[in-house]
Amino acid sequence: MENRNSGQKRSSISILLLFFTLFCFPLPASAWEGRVVEIPDSRTLVLEQEGKQRKISLYGLRTPDLNEPFGEAAYEFFLDLLKEQQVTIQNVGSGTRGSLVFLPGDSESVNAKLLREGWAWLQEAYCEKAALCGRLNAVQTQAERSKSGIWSKIPENMPPWRWLKEHK
């Protein structure tokens, strides 16, 4: 009986280790470089890479639309930061909503910069990477506390999308 329990314990431990390895240590995301050729809005870029254009969206974020309060300011910040820049793209999500964008020599993503300045907020429904989303959430919390950007007007505990919808 003791050998059987011992075998079950080892099997359970093996399964737990496999689960832990697969889900707690994400595989490295693919990264590539491109030159920004178009900025349609404050969360989307069109990049040129090897003569081809690729459209990407920032991972886990939402920004105000141009016709919403703070929309023009968010767009201007994004435009000033990225216009005609060579950037590194790190794919972390699925589909077209899955990119972190980095400027050359900068360890902080453009995603985090938008959050830090208060021109974006974390869209938890699209932020699937727990560790990354936790770090981005911490950056957003700093912006909220310092009343940066959109957070200068949004009441505490009110979702930004709701405030923007009410003040369109």
What's the pLDDT at 22?
Answer: 36
Burial of 54 (0-12, 13-18, 19+ CB in 10 A): middle
CA 145 → CA 64, 133, 140, distances in Å?
19, 18, 9
What's the pLDDT at 162?
Answer: 82
What's the pLDDT at 123?
Answer: 87
What does residue 52 show for φ and ψ, rounded to 5 degrees?
-115, 150
Amino acid symbol at 154: I
What's the pLDDT at 9?
Answer: 55
Please report, in angstroms and rounded to a whole number, the separation of the first and last CA atoms in the chain. 70
CATH 2.40.50.90 fits 31-166, yes or no: yes
The pTM of the full predicted model, rounded to 2 decimals, is 0.78
Q: What are the domain boundaries of the chain?
A: 31-166
What's the pLDDT at 141?
Answer: 95
What's the pLDDT at 7?
Answer: 56
What's the pLDDT at 93?
Answer: 74
What's the pLDDT at 77?
Answer: 97
What's the pLDDT at 6?
Answer: 55
Q: Which helix (H) or strand (E) holds 134?
A: helix 130-145
Spans of the chain, pLDDT less than 50 = 14-28
Q: Rounded to whole angstroms, how far apart are CA atoms 140 and 22? A: 28
